Structure 1
């Protein structure tokens, strides 16, 4: 296939309605930035994307579990070594608990190194009579409510690329350089268990992991997997100019890959079958995720499969359900049932965050830890009843001790929210709540199998 033909296919989305795109002042400036990004080195490699696809194929077969997590919206100022390390540390801790308690390999995917853009309900925001463009994430504009900060500035796409590169570089160094050593991560969990109000519940599990590690050591077993982990990056493929500029033709296969991340997903607000996002995703060879909210019909799910995975390639397509705790038990079964009947290889992941947001009396957007937990429980119940595989969880968390979601072991109440409410967008679980969740999900997984 000629280069011109491939480029034409990759640009077919331009003729379709593209939801949630910022209005840039100067199209010429956007073209100049896109041209610069098109020359920039890849952030990930096609071979790594294929490896993730193989790992997700194991999830489809019921042989692995996905843990996907990170910030709601990353910020340029948050791309520091400490912040990245704390998020990674929390994700690794959760993974150890899930791997051991569920006796299942865990595919670790960060919602990091690219999550710099957010869809918004309204394109404008008004405060005290002043109307400005809504904050769409650091890749588009700034959080400060001033005309300068809120200008949609395409040069920010270059900064998003550079921050993603820095974050990925740190993640690679941490996961390969001894920081992710299983014994070390387990020691962190012991610290958590000792200081957690819910710690007694986890003590038994921590003790079991201890004994398993001691047994391995006594046997002289010291597998390579103990010292480093495979870690993948993901973000919502929202800003199509950015994703298109970072799409490359793989020299091995001649196929196009979006080298901005290993996995990209299409959001609930951008999954229109005749829209630009689905068209663009259908052309790249990365693993693709699609968020499905409570209004999704079984026919919608089947149509998305036809568009995004017509060859039925295992590991290519993941459905990330975000129904809300009160709706998952009714809304999810028809989808899972229809897709299972079709025989299409799909990995199912639960996002228990996005359907459970509410506003506290203080005006803070928050989520109840119990609702998050209840949605995951509903997800497991549905899959257990249908005999299908609950393939993973997708959560928004931070490695810091923020006070953004209420509940959890260190009971955070609505009056505490103001203490450390630091998110640029949606409320995230803190480290303690994330680990509480991991132990509870591990128990649920154990009972499903």
Structure 2
């Protein structure tokens, strides 16, 4: 039996339009934008409320130390890269990392892709100037193109529809890969055995051998390992472009509650987490599980005000704090925030974004050092260990391809090597090998925690 939506609840979903909305493009044609929004509102949802509810329960478990979250994918997806091979490779590396983390944590790993919607990016400036020519900044494929040409950089509302259709085809392929045998535990483990066969990764062979023994033990006991052929895989992106998120909001017929059906999990970024701001107002009204980025300037009191806004009743799994402090600051700044939130008592899931606080420039390339990334992860674990709280997961920018965008790792990518395959349009990503190396190092941290 369907539940009729409360008219006041529906009306509240549009109150953000009366506020200043940061990080939005200047659309050149309001009528065209209105037509696109109407079309988006008529299209089927990309995900379902029941799936978002299942993820919220899993995130609640991670907050209690009963699961671990792995959220990974591109810094900014592009329409051109939404190919079967690229989607498969990203899923493959996330699955490979998840097997290692599952063993290290001895608990389920919640797999969330920064996929099927991560098309919008915040910018530090609305414009970009080259050789005396000023054009709108590139804000992601959902808004404009990357090439520095006036016609390409002009915000185009039709791209919102392109984003919807590209997300739909990406989700369709994700579901096929994760339910059709591609995600079988045996298959994923064989991939990882290939990784540790490389002498460069000999230090991880012990954990890989233990996983191998565990799988053979299960088989010897008569367990049907091939029954583990499917996985739950959730989609996520930064909920930045409200002209896309609001039209894809649907009222759940079971409960009458609104859900943002563009993804299972949405997060609010460091630049848009003003407690009285438009993004916070909109997301407070939808019932998806939500993430909030917390950078080095955040205080414990600010974090509590976010909880007051998004989760006043303390529902487990509703709010995930994604900390991004930087390797040199995490041990000094994170404890006070975690301590304040823990004393409040409302449940929070803490996960670490070790990428965004460690950005540097080398040879003209925006990059990160793998050692800094791992140092922030280690600091994150140390802080939670000292306070008796739960390190609930990782939020990582990665790709399944062999790009050269992050310095270091066992492969020792150096500054000269950045030029070989630097392919990102926005932020540098861990490559396939670096992602797996991270998983093995985090598995060691999990076993020690």
Q: When the two structures are superposed, what TM-score results if normalisation uses the length of structure 1?
A: 0.98
Deviation by residue 1:374-413 (Cα, 9 ceiling, x = unmatched): 0000000000000000000000000000000000011100
**Tell me, what secondary structure is at the counterpart of 1:245?**
coil
**Number of the residue aligned with 1:435:** 436
Whether 2:315 is the aligned partner of 1:278: answer: no
- Counterparts of 1:365-444 in structure 2, within 5 Å, are 365-444=366-445
Deviation at 1:62, TM superposition (A): 1.1
Bigger shift: residues 87-96 or 220-229: 220-229
Q: 2:306 aligns with which of 299, 304, 307?
A: 304
How many pairs are equivalent? 446
Please list the CA deviations of residues 167-211 of structure 1 after superposition, one character each: whole Å capped at 9, or x if unmatched.
Answer: 1111110000000000000000011111251x2111111111111
**Residue in structure 2 matched with residue 234 of structure 1 by the alignment:** 236
Listed as ranges, the gaps of 5+ residues in structure 1 are none
Deviation string for 1:212-236 (max 9, x for gaps)? 1111111111167611100000000
* 1:254 aligns to 2:282 (yes or no): no
Shift in alpha-carbon separation, 1:298–1:38, aligned structure 2, 3 A? same
Return the offset for 1:17. 1.7
Whether contact under 8 Å (1:196, 1:409) holds in the other structure is: no
Question: 1:189 pairs with 170, 188, 192, which one?
Answer: 192
CA contact (8 A) 1:16 1:274 kept: no
1:92 counterpart residue number: 95
Structure 2 distance, partners of 1:47, 1:187, is 33
Give the match for residue 317 of structure 1: 319
Shift of 1:3: 5.0
Deviation per CA, 1:267-299, whole angstroms, max 9, x where unpaired?
Answer: 000000111000001000000000000000100
Moved more, 205-214 or 124-133: 205-214
Map of 1:136 onto structure 2:
139
Find the partner of 2:156 among 153, 157, 168.
153
The 2-side partners of 1:340 and 1:224 are apart by 41
For 1:299 and 1:219, the matched residues in 2 are separated by 52
Alignment RMSD, CA only?
Answer: 1.0
Question: For 1:101, which of 73, 79, 104 is the aligned residue?
Answer: 104
1:291 matched to 2:271: no
Measure the CA separation in 1 of the matches of 2:165 and 2:339: 43
Once the two structures are superposed, residues 344-388 of structure 1 have per-residue CA deviations (whole angstroms, 9 ceiling, x without a partner) of 10000000000000111x211000000000000000000000000
User: Any conservation in 2 of the 1:288–1:317 contact (CA below 8 Å)?
Assistant: yes
**Equivalent-residue separation in structure 1 for 2:222 and 2:18 (angstroms):** 61
Distance 2:368 2:47 in 1: 33
Partner Cα separation in structure 2 for residue 57 and residue 66 of structure 1 = 11
